[in-house]
Amino acid sequence: MSPPVREVSCWRPTAARAPRSPVSPGPWASSSVFARSSVAVRRSREDRSSDRGPRRRPDRRARPGACAPGDPAPAPTTPAGTSAPEPDRARTAVEAGEDFLATYVDPDGRVVRHDQEGDTVSEGQAYGMLVAVGVGDAETFDATWTWTRDNLQRADGLLSWRWADGAVVDDEPASDADLDAARALVLAGERFDEPAYTEAATALGQAVLDLETAETALGRVLLAGPWADVDPYQVNPSYPSPVATRLLAELDGDPRWAELDAGSRAVTAELTTGGTLPPNWAQVHAADGRVEAMPGPDGRGVLFGYDAARTLVRYVESCDPDDHAAIAPAVGALEQQEVLAAELDLGGAALTQDQHPVTYVARAAIRALDGDLTGAAADLRASDAVVEENPTYFGAAWAALGRLSLETDLLGGCPPLAGDESAAATTDGAQASPSGTSDAEGRLTLQPRAEGVPTATGPQPIPAAGVVPTTVRIPEIDVTSALEDLVRDPDRVLNDPAVPEVAGWFSEGTVPGSVGPAVIAGHVDSGVEGAIFRDLDRLTAGSEVLVDLSDGTTATFRVTHAEVVPQAQFPTEVVYGPVPDAQLRLITCHTFDRAAGRYTQNLVVFATLVA
């Protein structure tokens, strides 16, 4: 263990915030879980591949200077051998949204793609509207919708795709923008108490149903745009939004929304059968409902990239378990490398050395669905880091939308990583909680929460004021230990337990059994022999941890999963950050490096209250 001044245990964190807040790592602290790979990946170059229609259009996302399809790739932006990035500044979902609005939305409400020669697309306007309503910025929302309506809305109610140099230069709509804008209008009508937004949402939604959907043997599907109304139908699997269709169905009661929801889910399920990732583009045959992955309009081939990544986010934020089931087969496909490439083949193999925020957000979504909350939070941080190093309109948009969708219910969905911001939302509906059941491999399976159930789930025997933990017991590994209080020193570094045989409780944090993440830490060895937590790595999902309290009661926790995290950056927010129920973290050292003479990793065991 290597503290800055004196020899201490390897698990020694720097407590950087007030009680029940995350504790920042000291030199002992381990890096986030996603940094385990040494695969060299270049940071984000924006998508130079996908198109909105059957015609070749200007690239939607390639920043000036990026190569066109078939051209030699530009020089790497990150040297070979680096690991996945960590941001310089931690952001909440609302802060990420506010950053996007401040950077890309002009005062008149136009969302400007600064990395695309200053043009504007309907997709961007819809993103601006969603972010504005998510962060509660009524003024920006009104300006963004007004600009959209005045400059992009066609006579049929749909939105023209692209505007540049003062005029529409491509009036073909893109159905994802139309659907996202309608969703934003539904939310804004309720959140800002503005009936005009609700009326606009109804009208735009009806235009989508009338002009951008088609019936097939598989069900009603969302066309890529009205221009795709030719059998076999061109579809983009990332365009449907289960949350949007639910909100619009609740708004106008049109049964076609339920048909579209079921048909879109069926398409997605067909494309992920066998564990493959969804492609950027596909086609659906009307007569037999056959679904085929297809190259995009640019002809670059069948792949999972900047478009398809959004599919995973849209289906994970859904409140319907059937939507989760449609993408569940793809869970393992993004786990082939921790440093995640921006484009992959449908089996998950990297096709580029670029990184992009939206791909990290996609993996955050799928990891959250699989119960890997630590990995999900790490991927959201990686997304922020890529935005910091290489800011682009599309990357910044999805770094914000990813957090708003997965960490809060501010956009009307059921977030699997819900925290304090979600609890402050005004949108009603089911939410997901980081609690549930463990699967055969010990991963926590998230279960959607029914309407009306409070944010905290499971037993919540809140200890009375003054009650403190006295003993930790872990029968499976024969641990019984008194608990000493661990506090921060003048440098805000958490002191370690005085002796190897006794564990310690972070007494400025959560009392075990209260809502929040209680933290108990202990040594793995004394330098001569094993210490109190020497067998902590033997625990598995389902193992029980009992914490006796000073009032004579016992808080019983059940292990959900464990993570070994390497040194350098500790997943602080995941370990110490706010959670909606009573949880416990057990921390000790892991992996002794003889050459360095110290432990280089930490073991963090996560558990939830069951009694």
Pick the closest to residue 174 from 218, 141, 221, 222 (CA basis): 222
Indicate the class that CATH gives domain 458-609. mainly beta
pLDDT tens digits, 454-511: 233 334 444 556 789 999 999 999 999 999 998 877 665 667 888 899 999 998 888 9
Q: What 3-state class would DSSP assign to 608?
A: strand
pLDDT tens digits, 301-324: 899 999 999 999 999 999 999 999
d(CA 316, CA 421): 18
Is the pLDDT reported for residue 110 higher than 50?
Answer: yes
Grade residue 425 by pLDDT with cuts at 50, 70 and 90.
very low
Pick the closest to residue 46 from 31, 79, 68 (CA basis): 68
Active site residues: 523, 589
DSSP string, 158-224: -B-SEEETTEEEE----HHHHHHHHHHHHHHHHHTT-HHHHHHHHHHHHHHHHHSEEEETTEEEE-S
d(CA 297, CA 283): 12
d(CA 528, CA 10): 15
Res 589: pLDDT: 85
Give the predicted TM-score (pTM) of the model: 0.62
pLDDT tens digits, 347-385: 999 999 899 999 999 999 999 998 888 889 999 999 999
Location of structure tokens 């964190």: 13
For all residues of the chain together, what is the average pLDDT?
A: 79
Q: What percent of the chain has pLDDT over 70?
A: 77
Provide the CATH number for the domain formed by 94-449 in this structure: 1.50.10.10
Is the pLDDT reported for residue 111 higher than 80?
Answer: yes
pLDDT tens digits, 23-68: 332 222 222 222 222 222 222 223 323 333 322 232 333 222 222 2
Grade residue 516 by pLDDT with cuts at 50, 70 and 90.
confident
CA distances for 498 relative to 25, 495, 522, 537, angstroms? 19, 9, 10, 22
Q: What percent of the chain has pLDDT over 90?
A: 60
**Residues whose CB is less than 8 angstroms from the CB of residue 91 and which lie 6 or more positions away in sequence, other chains included:** 99, 384, 403
> What is the domain partition of the chain in residue ranges?
94-449, 458-609
d(CA 608, CA 193): 39
Residue of higher predicted confidence among 445 and 123: 123
Location of structure tokens 């020899």: 7
Task: Tally Cβ neighbours within 10 Å of residue 348.
Answer: 19
> CA torsion sign, 75 to 78 to 84 to 86?
negative
Res 543: pLDDT: 92
Res 421: pLDDT: 43
Residue of higher predicted confidence among 411 and 579: 411
Residue of higher predicted confidence among 29 and 602: 602
